[in-house]
Amino acid sequence: MGHILDDRQKQVSIAGANERTIDCNKASLAGSVSQRACVFCGSRVVLYPIVDALHVIHGPIGCAAYTWDIRGSLSSGPELHRLSYCTDLQERDVIFGGEKKLYASIIELIDLHKPKAAFIYTTCIVGVIGDDVEQICRTIEKEKGIPIIPVQAPGFQGSKKDGYKVACEAIFTLVGTKSKPFTPAKSINILGDFNLAGELWILLEYYKKMGVHVNATITGDGRVDDICNAHNAALNVVQCSGSMNYLAKMMKDEYGIPSMRVSYFGIEDMSDALYDVARFFKDDDMMDKARELVKEEFTKLIPQLAWYKERLTGKKAAIYVGGAFKAISLVKALRLIGVQSVIVGSQTGTTEDYELIKQLCDEGTIIVDDSNPVELSHFVKEKQADIFIGGVKERPIAHKIGLGFCDHNHERKEPLAGYEGMLNFAKEIYATAMSPVWKFTK
Amino acid sequence: MIEAKTYTSTRNSCKLCAPLGASMVFKGIEGCVPLIHGSQGCATYIRRYMISHYKEPVDIASSNFSEESTVFGGSKNFITGIENIIKQYKPNVIGIASTCLSETIGEDIPGHIRHYKESHEADGSHIPTFIHTSTPSYSGSHAEGFHNTVLAAVKAIAKHGKTVETLNIFPGMVSPADIRYLKELLEDFGIKYVLFPDFSETLDNEYTSEYQLIPTGGTPMIDIEHIGDSKSTIEFGTSFNKTVNRTKDIGTLQTAGEWLQSTYYIRNYQIPLPIGIEASDKFIKTLEEISGKPVPEKHRKERGRLVDAYVDAHKYVFGKKALIYGEEDFVTAMADWLKEIGIEAFWIKGTDFETLREKADEFKPDFLLGNSKGYYIARELKIPLVRVGFPIHDRFGATRIHHIGYRGTQELFDQVVNALIEYKQENSPIGYKYL
């Protein structure tokens, strides 16, 4: 594969063809045009959906401007998270320090918005000029009486995945700081759903039907007070494990809360997510309700999916998404509608994720970690994919070479999680694969 | 323009960072791949931002700084980055933009380039041309990044030989449609020109069926070399670097046109972006002066039709109020145009969106004119937003928006008039079918 840089050869593997464990979890190769962002980005996307907190970026304007209202994380209440605040460091601040500016910014914004907490993100440049952000946060915390949490996220201090960890640490400082008067015994925290296109609300409905109390949602439609009380839940249900496993682990160590890994994409994984929770609580009534719910949804959904499967069978898909766990669900969901996954890749997958993908996928499927436009465009041509599933940066790669595209990232406007999400997914794949416009691209 | 109460923090920024402007310029050079010397996120964020506007592939490499490169210097990552770009893209040119990180730790990018060249010249391998621009995010905005990169490229590449009858045209941050229009206009005039940067194809390409690693188009390097031989320069925009707050280099910053004038005595016509009849007249007059020819009939008629349209629709716009925002040159040009048709324009220098939103309560605009990021204000005020400029992330066709010249003004005028009419019609209890 001559189009793969020598230093990246080990980050590509073929299902069935070689036993090599994929090399992952490493820094992107300079000059490779990685699709990944940075530590700051990782922390920002995870914390962003906490809707009643103030998010202030201490750094240059770009970091703030490019992450303004970046995710379609919906709120059922406050929308403070959708505002972008920045100290907009200037040359004189770089020389003389930006501490005073940061202090004044946080104070004025707290006075303006009266938030429940504030997250203060540091960026590359603050990592270099050495502003004592933690000290400023402590001072203001005393002054204003709300949690002011430094998020140490200089972009160069690792990859996007390290940013997830930084975000988990920031969230963890809130956990256990306050207890609500009463938290039901059979309550869970939902970790790693970001309420894109209102997906969280679909899940809440399912759990409600089963009689499960959802305590804190971290971070989709997230509230500071709920997160403070997160330690009183009986179980952490973790999706997007790449970003949230670390928080679950810290909560296990500190508060003894067990966790389980789930996915809400595709009907098998979605149903397991409900059954596993019922199983955890050893509650027959809950299990019956889950079965009833699944049965009801299946009765509606299966005939509809069959319609799509009949028409989509034989289509081939390329998947390149942020987290590998989502990629696994997507492979299964696509199979359900007759679509074969011929390329599966992610920005931040782990060895275990990739091994699982290898076992799951058909022989010959290309599996890739931290890919780039040159590789991806070669792969889709080589495997003759019809559809690409990815995010904003993958869309033009697909479109320029005549592939359908499905946005499974931050900016989606239709929910793709849950049973109705599965139907939306099928509809979107159908709409992109079967469009008449492809006759002009042949 | 008015003064507004300022907050210490920037709240919903109107500006972007300098390396984005640099990347746009590099995308306008034929055979060029941009490299941003800094953290991975800078390149990725800028790619994402540009892709969402242009709906085109925007490959930008990063030297991907780590903790180690931040402490011990980024030369190793820089060299690896260059090598990998060459392996993957085989570019003719590599455009290198610095970042706040690489500038703050004092990276010697020219030194890195020299080092790379020295170590590779010996083995006879093909070495691309390097263009380096200093674009720390803490100094100026994307607009300064753009202009500084035009200047850096001209300084690095333009040679001065025998003067020829060629016009340099530096249009600035206009749209691909604007660039295509300029080329047509200059060809109609019969003027030989070098337009730089030309991203009319690289960022608005046809369907290719193959992934072009480096999209076709862009100003050829040979043309940039000849910039120093031209007889005159036209550059759009008059505010650049007159207001930038820098602690160093004060007074030494020039535009590319100013530099060519002071260095090679190439006559520089620095004129406002030609939006509106008066500004376009000024531009056309300049072209008439340079070419010694009258405006071609086709374009004279476009002016005539625009006047006709102004007359037909004047009542729908007169006395209306517009809130406008964007890059300073763009905003001042828009404000002058709006004044020309009887619309009162309101804008704030160096502001952010939240300040604009608060001030809008006092000003009570009838519509907004600017990029898509002001949509939330229009939504809150329940008034139309006419989308122009960069970025437009919530609509298709941003690359095809034509802003300049008589023809571009005509398109803008129709958009504004119809937005106002539609607003009135939608809010009318009758729902009339005639004007």
In a domain, B309, yes or no: yes
As a whole number, mean pLDDT of residues A56-82 equals: 94
As a whole number, mean pLDDT of residues A341-368 equals: 94
Cis omega (within 30 of 0) for bond into B294: no
Most confident of A100-114, A231-245, B3-17, B117-131: A100-114
As a whole number, mean pLDDT of residues B422-434 equals: 91
Domain that holds residue B346: 296-426
CB A160 within 8 A of CB A42: yes
Interface test with B, best of A6, A92, A393, A400 (most B CBs within 10 A): A400
Q: Are the Cβ atoms of B62 and A30 closer than 8 angstroms?
A: yes
Which residue of chain B has the CA closest to A381? B210
In a domain, B281, yes or no: no
DSSP secondary structure code for residue B342 in this structure:
T
Least CB-CB distance to A90: which of B52, B138, B213?
B138
As a whole number, mean pLDDT of residues A160-166 equals: 94
Which residue of chain A has the CA closest to B67? A157
Confidence bin at A3 (pLDDT 50/70/90): confident
Domain tally for chain B?
Answer: 2
Confidence bin at B247 (pLDDT 50/70/90): very low
Chain B hits for A402, CB-CB cut-off 8 Å, are 207, 209
Which residue of chain B has the CA closest to A402? B209
Q: Are the Cβ atoms of B80 and A67 closer than 8 angstroms?
A: no
As a whole number, mean pLDDT of residues B314-321 equals: 98
Nearest chain B CA: its distance from A249 CA (Å): 26
Of residues A361 and B241, more confidence is placed in A361
**Of all residues in chain B, what percent carry a pLDDT higher than 90?**
90
Which residue of chain A has the CA closest to B105? A128
CATH number, domain of B330, equals: 3.40.50.1980
A220 pLDDT exceeds 80? yes
* pLDDT for res A20: 74
Tell me which of A70-74, A184-188, B271-275, B296-300 is least confident. A70-74
Of residues B5 and A246, more confidence is placed in A246
Question: Rounded to two decimals, what is the model's pTM?
Answer: 0.96
Least CB-CB distance to B16: which of A61, A158, A393?
A61
B245 pLDDT exceeds 50? no
In a domain, B72, yes or no: yes
DSSP secondary structure code for residue B37 in this structure:
E
Is B135 touching A (CB cutoff 8 A)?
A: no
Which residue of chain A has the CA closest to B39? A156
pLDDT tens digits along B20-72: 999 999 999 999 999 999 999 999 999 999 999 999 999 999 999 999 999 99
Q: B78, B113, B140 — which closes off a domain?
A: B140
Instruction: Indicate the average pLDDT of chain A.
Output: 95
B2 pLDDT exceeds 60? no
In a domain, B335, yes or no: yes
Instruction: Indicate the average pLDDT of chain B.
Output: 94
B246 pLDDT exceeds 60? no
Q: Are the Cβ atoms of B45 and A60 closer than 8 angstroms?
A: no
Which A residues, 60 through 99, put their C-beta within 8 Å of a C-beta on chain B? 60-69, 83-95
Q: B106, B140, B174 — which closes off a domain?
A: B140
A167 pLDDT exceeds 60? yes
pLDDT tens digits along A315-332: 999 999 998 988 999 999
B248 pLDDT exceeds 70? no
Q: Which residues of B399-433 are buried (b: 16+ CB within 10 A; e: fewer)?
A: bebbbbbbbbbbbbbebbbebbeeeeeeeeeeeee
* pLDDT for res B253: 77
pLDDT tens digits along B201-222: 999 999 999 999 999 999 999 9
Chain B hits for A31, CB-CB cut-off 8 Å, are 35, 61-64, 80-85, 88
CA within 13 Å, CB half, B400: 6
ipTM of the complex: 0.96
Alpha carbons A413 and A410: distance in angstroms, whole number = 9
Tell me which of B77-81, B116-120, B383-387 is least confident. B116-120
Q: How many beta carbons lie within 10 A of that of residue A245, not counting itself?
A: 21
As a whole number, mean pLDDT of residues B124-144 equals: 93
Q: B90, B123, B140 — which closes off a domain?
A: B140
Q: Which residues contact A234 (CB under 8 A, 6 or more apart)?
A: A185, A186, A187, A188, A257, A280, A281
In a domain, B174, yes or no: no
Q: Which residues of B352-368 are buried (b: 16+ CB within 10 A; e: fewer)?
A: bbbbbbebbeeeebbbb
The CA–CA distances, whole Å, from A441 to A236, B206, B208, B212, B215 equal 47, 11, 9, 15, 18
**Nearest to residue A149, comparing CAs of A78, A215, A88, A224?**
A224
* pLDDT for res B250: 43
* pLDDT for res B4: 56
Chain B hits for A3, CB-CB cut-off 8 Å, are 88
In a domain, B158, yes or no: no
3-state SS, residue A148: strand
In a domain, B109, yes or no: yes
DSSP secondary structure code for residue A384 in this structure:
T
CB B217 within 8 A of CB B201: yes
What is the set of domains in chain A, with CATH numbers?
39-169 (3.40.50.1980), 187-292 (3.40.50.1980), 313-411 (3.40.50.1980)
In a domain, B421, yes or no: yes
Least CB-CB distance to A129: which of B15, B17, B104?
B104
> B243, exposed or middle or buried, with CB in 10 Å at 0-12, 13-18, 19+?
exposed
* pLDDT for res B433: 86
